[in-house]
Structure 1
Amino acid sequence: MAEWKLFHGEHPHVATLDFHRDRDRAPHLEQPDHRARLKRCARVIRNINPGSVVDLGCGDGGLLSLIKDIPSWGYDFQPSNEPAWTERGVTAERRDVFNTRDVPKWGELAVLTEVLEHLADPHGTVEWVARNASWIVASSPRHESADFHGDCHAWAWDEEGYRALLAPHFEVTLHEAVDWSQIIVGRSKRCESSSQATEAS
Structure 2
Amino acid sequence: MTSWLHRQRLEAVLAAVRGCGARSVLDLGCGDGDLLALLADEPQIERLVGIDLSQEALARLRTRLGTKLTETAGRIAIVHGSLIEAGPRYAGFDCAVLVETIEHVDPARLGSLERAVFATMRSATVVVTTPNAEFNALLGVPLNRFRHPDHRFEWDRPRFRQWAEGVAARNRYLVTCSDIAGNHRDFGGASQMARFVRQEVEVSEAP
TM-score (norm 1): 0.70
In structure 2, C-alpha distance between the alignment counterparts of 1:129 and 1:105, rounded to whole Å: 9
- Number of residue pairs matched? 163
Counterpart of 1:124?
Answer: 112
Question: 2:175 is matched by which residue type in structure 1?
Answer: V
In structure 1, C-alpha distance between the alignment counterparts of 2:3 and 2:57, rounded to whole Å: 15
In structure 2, C-alpha distance between the alignment counterparts of 1:101 and 1:93, rounded to whole Å: 9
Unmatched 5+ stretches in structure 1? 1-27, 194-201
Is 1:108 the counterpart of 2:79? The answer is no
Decide whether aligned partners of structure 1 residues 123 and 178 sit closer, same or farther in structure 2, where only a CA change above 3 A counts.
farther
Q: Is the 8 A contact 1:39 1:66 kept in 2?
A: no
Decide whether aligned partners of structure 1 residues 192 and 84 sit closer, same or farther in structure 2, where only a CA change above 3 A counts.
farther
Which has the larger displacement, 148-157 or 111-120?
A: 148-157
Shift of 1:109: 1.2
Question: 1:108 is matched by which residue type in structure 2?
Answer: D
Shift of 1:105: 2.2
Q: Is the 8 A contact 2:83 2:113 kept in 1?
A: no
Counterpart of 1:199?
Answer: none
- Whose RCO is larger (CA < 8 A, sep 6+)? 1
Q: Is the 8 A contact 1:119 1:154 kept in 2?
A: yes
Decide whether aligned partners of structure 1 residues 53 and 91 sit closer, same or farther in structure 2, where only a CA change above 3 A counts.
same
Shift of 1:174: 4.3
In structure 1, C-alpha distance between the alignment counterparts of 2:198 and 2:153, rounded to whole Å: 23
1:61-72 superposed matches below 5 A: 61-68=33-40, 69=43, 70=45, 71-72=47-48
Q: Write out per-residue CA displacement over residues 142-195 of structure 1, whole angstroms, 9 at most, x where no aligned residue.
A: 026973413211122111111111212321134223231112211135x769xx
Is 1:173 the counterpart of 2:159? The answer is no
Decide whether aligned partners of structure 1 residues 177 and 32 sit closer, same or farther in structure 2, where only a CA change above 3 A counts.
closer
Identity among equivalent positions (%) equals 23
Counterpart of 1:58?
Answer: 30
Unmatched 5+ stretches in structure 2? 69-75, 137-142, 169-173, 183-189, 203-207
Q: Which has the higher helix share?
A: 2
Shift of 1:137: 0.5
In structure 2, C-alpha distance between the alignment counterparts of 1:160 and 1:188, rounded to whole Å: 22
Counterpart of 1:75?
Answer: 51
In structure 1, C-alpha distance between the alignment counterparts of 2:144 and 2:124, rounded to whole Å: 35
Secondary structure, counterpart of 2:197 in structure 1: strand
Tell me the C-alpha RMSD between the 2 structures.
2.7
Q: Is the 8 A contact 2:127 2:195 kept in 1?
A: yes
Is 1:186 the counterpart of 2:196? The answer is yes
TM-score (norm 2): 0.68
Secondary structure, counterpart of 2:129 in structure 1: strand
In structure 1, C-alpha distance between the alignment counterparts of 2:158 and 2:101, rounded to whole Å: 18
Question: 1:102 is matched by which residue type in structure 2?
Answer: G
Residue in structure 2 matching 1:141, options 131, 147, 170: 131
Shift of 1:110: 1.1
In structure 2, C-alpha distance between the alignment counterparts of 1:163 and 1:101, rounded to whole Å: 26
